[in-house]
Every structure is written in structure tokens, then in C-alpha cells.
């Protein structure tokens, strides 16, 4: 089941990000190719890569953290279910 969730997430991210990445990447490649020095072009591509990669790393850290929090909350699931049932009846 987890494999299907990851596949779905990958598909959605790829589908949503492709139009943005294509236009931005082509612009950065043109700028890097027409830069005055090789190192300036490398710097532009490095900044673009960091800007693209850091959000994905942060999301993966947040997902990992939230999964550990869900595991901790699962211990109290029977009590929470009972409390929710009482609240709904009242």
C-alpha cells in the first residue's frame, strides 16, 4: 500500500511541476550559457538546483516527522475514539 502512495505522490509532483520546471530551467540554461565566465554559469545552475531541491528535502523531513507523530498518537486511538463518540452523543 505504501508503494502506491509513493507512486501517486511522485506522479502528482511530476505532473504539477513539469510546466514550471521546463520554463525556468530553459531560462536558466540560456542565462548560464550566455554568462561571461564558466564559474558564473555554474553558480547560476547551482542556485537553481538548490532552490529546486531544498523544498523537496524539507517536505521529506516533515513527512518523516509527521509519521513518527502519528505512531505516537496511535497509542491513544481507543481513548480518542471513545471521547469522540461521547462528544457526538452529547
> How close are the terminal C-alpha atoms of the chain, in Å?
37
pLDDT of residue 39: 93
Q: Splitting the chain (90 residues) into consecutive groups of 10 residues, what average pLDDT does each group show?
A: 70 67 82 90 90 86 84 84 89
User: Could you please report the per-residue DSSP string of 12-34?
Assistant: HHHHHHHHHHHHHHHHHHHHHHT
Residue 34: phi and psi, rounded to 5, are -100, 10
pTM for this model (two decimals): 0.55
Amino acid at each position: 500500500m505504501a508503494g502506491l502512495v509513493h507512486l501517486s505522490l511522485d506522479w502528482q509532483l511530476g505532473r504539477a511541476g513539469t510546466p514550471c520546471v521546463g520554463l525556468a530551467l530553459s531560462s536558466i540554461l540560456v542565462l548560464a550559457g550566455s554568462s561571461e565566465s564558466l564559474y558564473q554559469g555554474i553558480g547560476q545552475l547551482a542556485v537553481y538546483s538548490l532552490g529546486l531541491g531544498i523544498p523537496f528535502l524539507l517536505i521529506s523531513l516533515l513527512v518523516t516527522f509527521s509519521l513518527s507523530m502519528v505512531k505516537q498518537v496511535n497509542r491513544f486511538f481507543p481513548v480518542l475514539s471513545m471521547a469522540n463518540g461521547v462528544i457526538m452523543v452529547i
